[in-house]
Structure 1
Amino acid sequence: MTADDDAAFRQTGWPGLRARLFHLYFVLRRPMTLGVRGLIYDSASNSVFLIRHTYVPGWQLPGGGVEVGETMADALERELIEECNIALTAPPILKSMHFNRRSSRRDHVGFYLIEHFSQTAPKLPDHEIAEAGFFQLDRLPEGTTPATLRRIAEVFWGEPASPYW
C-alpha cells in the first residue's frame, strides 16, 4: 500500500472544505480530538461489518468521536448503536491507538476488536450512513479505505500495528 492508494479517499472541493470546517469546529471545541473505531468480527461467517458514510468516500469501520465526559468504550458503544444497530454483549478489546495525521495534527483513534455483539435490526440508510453490512474477509467491497485494510491486516494477518491511522 502506497501513499497514492490514499489519494482516492482525500476530500477535495466542497466535501473537503466541509470536512475541514467540521474538524475545525472540534479543534476549537476540544484542542485534542479523540475517536474510536471498531472492527466487528463475526467468526461464524468470517465477516466484518463495514459502513459507507454519506459525507466521505469509501467503506470503513464504524466509529466516531469521543464526547466530553465520555470514555472511549462508551463512545464506541454509542457509535455502534447509531451506525450499525449493534449492541455489545461483552467488552470490546482495545487493540491499538493511532495518530490520525490525515485528519489533523491533533487527532488520535482508539481501535477496538468486537467479537461479542448482537445486531438488533439491519442498518438501513439514513442521513449519515449510506450503506452498511457484513462482508466476508476475502470479499471486501471495492473502495474499502486503506486504513480499514491496514487494521484488518493487523488483526487477521499478523501485520505490525502502525502508529498511524
Structure 2
Amino acid sequence: MSRWQRVRTGAHLFLVGIRRRMVIGARAVLIDADGRVLLLRHTYMPGWHFPGGGVEPGETAAEAARREAEEEAGFRVDGQMRLLGLYLHRSEATDRDHVAVYVAREFRMVKPFSANGEIAEIGWFPLSQPPEGVDPGTARRIAELASGTEDTQGLW
C-alpha cells in the first residue's frame, strides 16, 4: 500500500469510526457456472477484492452485499446468498472493521462495467488461479472456497 493510499484509507476509516464506532462491511462473492469468481481493483487501494462496502443504516449486510455487487460491478444477485462468514478485518488504520462475506451463484449483468473514480477494473478468475496481487484476505476466502474448508479464526 502506498503512503498516499495508507493516509487516504486511514482518514476515511477514522472519520467513519468517529461516526459509527464499529464499522460493518459486506462483500459479495459471485461465482459463475464455470467456477470463476468476480474480482475488482479499486482506484484508491491496491489488490484485487470482492465487490463490497459499508452497510448503510437500516440495511442488512446481505442487502449491502447485493447493492455493492450491482453498484461496483453491474451484476444483480437474483438468487439466495449464503453467508460464508463474519470476519474481523485488522488493518494499519483500525481494528474494528467487521466484514460479512456472502456467496452468490445466481446473478445477471444489469449494466456493462465502465471504469470510474472508485473501480479501476473487474475480472473473472478461476477459483484455483486467483490473479497476482490479490488482497490477502480475499486470497484466503478464495482458497477456502476452492478447497471447501472454512476459516476457524474469523480473521479477514
The equivalent position to 1:47 in structure 2, one of 36, 45, 49, is: 36
1:77 CA drift (Å): 1.4
1:137 CA drift (Å): 2.4
What letter corresponds to residue 145 of structure 1 in structure 2?
D
Q: Structure 2: 5+ residue runs without aligned partners?
A: none
For the aligned residue pairs, the C-alpha RMSD in angstroms reads 1.4
Does 1:17 pair with 2:7? yes
TM-score (norm 2): 0.92
What letter corresponds to residue 91 of structure 1 in structure 2?
Q
Aligned length: 154
1:12 CA drift (Å): 4.0
1:120 and 1:139 map into 2 onto residues whose CA distance is: 26
1:126 and 1:66 map into 2 onto residues whose CA distance is: 21
Note if contact 1:40-1:48 (Cα within 8 Å) is conserved in structure 2. Answer: yes
Note if contact 2:28-2:66 (Cα within 8 Å) is conserved in structure 1. Answer: no
Of all paired residues, the percent bearing the same amino acid is 39
Note if contact 1:124-1:132 (Cα within 8 Å) is conserved in structure 2. Answer: no
1:91 CA drift (Å): 2.2
Deviations 1:96-145 (A, max 9, x none): 11011125221100011111111123311111000002112234221111
Q: Structure 1: 5+ residue runs without aligned partners?
A: 1-10
TM-score (norm 1): 0.87
1:30 and 1:59 map into 2 onto residues whose CA distance is: 26
- Structure-2 residue corresponding to 1:140: 130
Deviations 1:27-65 (A, max 9, x none): 01101100011110002x221000000000011111000
- Structure-2 residue corresponding to 1:8: none
1:26 and 1:55 map into 2 onto residues whose CA distance is: 16
Q: Which moved more, 1:90-99 or 1:155-164?
A: 155-164
